[in-house]
Amino acid sequence: MIPYGKQDISQTDIDAVVEVLQSDWLTQGPMVPQFEQAVANKVGAQYAVAVNSATSALHIACLALGLESGDWLWTSPISFVASANCGLYCGAQVDFVDIDSKTYNLNVEALATKLEQAEKEGKLPKVLIPVHFSGQACDMAEIRLLSQKYGFSIIEDASHAIGGAYQNKPIGCNAYSDITIFSFHPVKILTTGEGGMALTNHDDLFLRMQAFRSHGITRDIGKMHGPSHGAWYYEQLDLGFNYRMTDIQAALGLSQLERLEQFVVKRRQLAGVYDEALSNLPLIRPYQSPDTCSAFHLYVVQVDASNSPASRNDLFAYLRQAGIGVNVHYIPIYRQPYYQQMNHYQTQHFIEAERYYANAITLPLHFGLQNEAQQMVVESLQKILQA
């Protein structure tokens, strides 16, 4: 099976991990701050907090922004469930903004309309999580204007997008947001096995996220409520978690980061090959906004239902049978039974997300995808769609 996504591990990556295994530190030691500093420098952010997953990063980001019971969090329905679950972890309620029919990112006009309505009902969101779907940035400048007008905070879910850019600045620099999070799951652009990171330019958010990562405990005398009892002394000031990244993971991430540009260039090249090879087929190829440079975590096409001899479901079954590991990203989050039981989200509020979900299919795209394998994907698509 040709997988839709896959990590690429070099001998240098392996050597970096082995070196940590032979050192004195396994869990958070010297490699974690090195990795944090390296990612922060790379994307132009001031502070970074490495954690054990992007899911954890989203959680501590929401907590740092003060999200709690009685608040609302809004995000895109076409995302992984983690983009929404972080709101529920904090006791907040979650709602969704329909997507843009071209970029599949959260639609800014739909957001503006929904905000106007929410203001009347006194239900404005405290936090908005725009998701840079497939690696292409959302319209952040417009979203920032709306956040200033309505007073919500912004967490960019850039799980797909490290190495991408918006208005010629790296994603992660937080030019239009409070916090950006990255995922280092093996199918993403670069990996630490499991892992994530939250980046910010605000020192207060940075310190809060650091505390939530590790039990809400401080060893900083300046922050303690009472005098220190001795060198062993620490105080728990908040209810935090153990979301720490290990040094083993950080060493892998640091080594992988050396090849970030290479990873993204290759993904963009492969996307270009698909763009050209699929242009005669009844498929809608990924639109690219001129403001963005996508990291191409995913290459998603939509079956052009009015012209195609095969439906998305036919295509999916045929390709899987041919040994091609296509996938569908994502099932709209509001359709998940857990979300339906909580809140009867109506599909008619999400016309574009529904249309997208009916027709979308993710083709294999990853650093190690060989030309012959990609050619086989193209030929299989031609065979069924030119019939």
Among 7, 55, 134, 374, binds ligand PLP (CB under 6 A): 55
- Distance in Å, CB of 293 to ligand PLP, minimum: 18
| 369 is a site residue for ligand PLP (CB under 6 A) | no
- SS3 for 203-262 is HHHHHHHHHHHECCEECCHHHCCCCCCCCCCCEECCCCCECECCHHHHHHHHHHHCCHHH
| 196 is a site residue for ligand PLP (CB under 6 A) | yes
Separation CA 122–CA 116 (nearest Å):
10
| 174 is a site residue for ligand PLP (CB under 6 A) | no
3-state secondary structure of 141: helix
Query: Residue 23 or residue 336: which is nearer to ligand PLP going by CB?
Result: 336
Q: Tell me the two tokens of residue 54.
A: 């992007």
User: CB of 73 within 8 A of CB of 92?
Assistant: yes
- The position carrying tokens 């509020």 is 349
Select the span of 9-17, 76-84, 281-289, 311-319 touching ligand PLP (CB under 6 A).
Answer: 76-84
- Distance in Å, CB of 105 to ligand PLP, minimum: 11
Q: Which helix (H) or strand (E) holds 51?
A: strand 47-51
- Distance in Å, CB of 44 to ligand PLP, minimum: 21
Select the span of 53-61, 109-117, 335-343, 345-353 touching ligand PLP (CB under 6 A).
Answer: 53-61
- Distance in Å, CB of 149 to ligand PLP, minimum: 26
Query: Residue 137 or residue 281: which is nearer to ligand PLP going by CB?
Result: 137
Alpha carbon separation from 132 to 68, 90, 203, 249 (Å, rounded):
24, 23, 24, 24
| 197 is a site residue for ligand PLP (CB under 6 A) | no
3-state secondary structure of 287: coil
Select the span of 87-95, 155-163, 202-210, 353-361 touching ligand PLP (CB under 6 A).
Answer: 155-163
Separation CA 297–CA 34 (nearest Å):
25
| 53 is a site residue for ligand PLP (CB under 6 A) | yes
Among 59, 126, 160, 213, binds ligand PLP (CB under 6 A): 160
Q: What's at 75, amino acid-wise?
A: T
Select the span of 1-9, 47-55, 271-279, 281-289 touching ligand PLP (CB under 6 A).
Answer: 47-55
- Distance in Å, CB of 192 to ligand PLP, minimum: 9
Separation CA 289–CA 108 (nearest Å):
14
Query: Residue 192 or residue 218: which is nearer to ligand PLP going by CB?
Result: 192
| 54 is a site residue for ligand PLP (CB under 6 A) | yes
Separation CA 58–CA 209 (nearest Å):
10
Query: Residue 83 or residue 105: which is nearer to ligand PLP going by CB?
Result: 83
Site size with ligand PLP, rule: CB under 6 A: 14
- Helix boundaries (H) for the chain: 11-21, 31-43, 54-64, 82-89, 108-121, 140-150, 203-213, 247-257, 260-277, 312-321, 337-342, 351-359, 371-385
Query: Residue 183 or residue 200: which is nearer to ligand PLP going by CB?
Result: 183
- Distance in Å, CB of 245 to ligand PLP, minimum: 11
Which residues in this chain contact ligand PLP in the complex, by CB under 6 A? Answer: 53-55, 79-80, 82-83, 131, 157, 159-160, 183, 185, 196
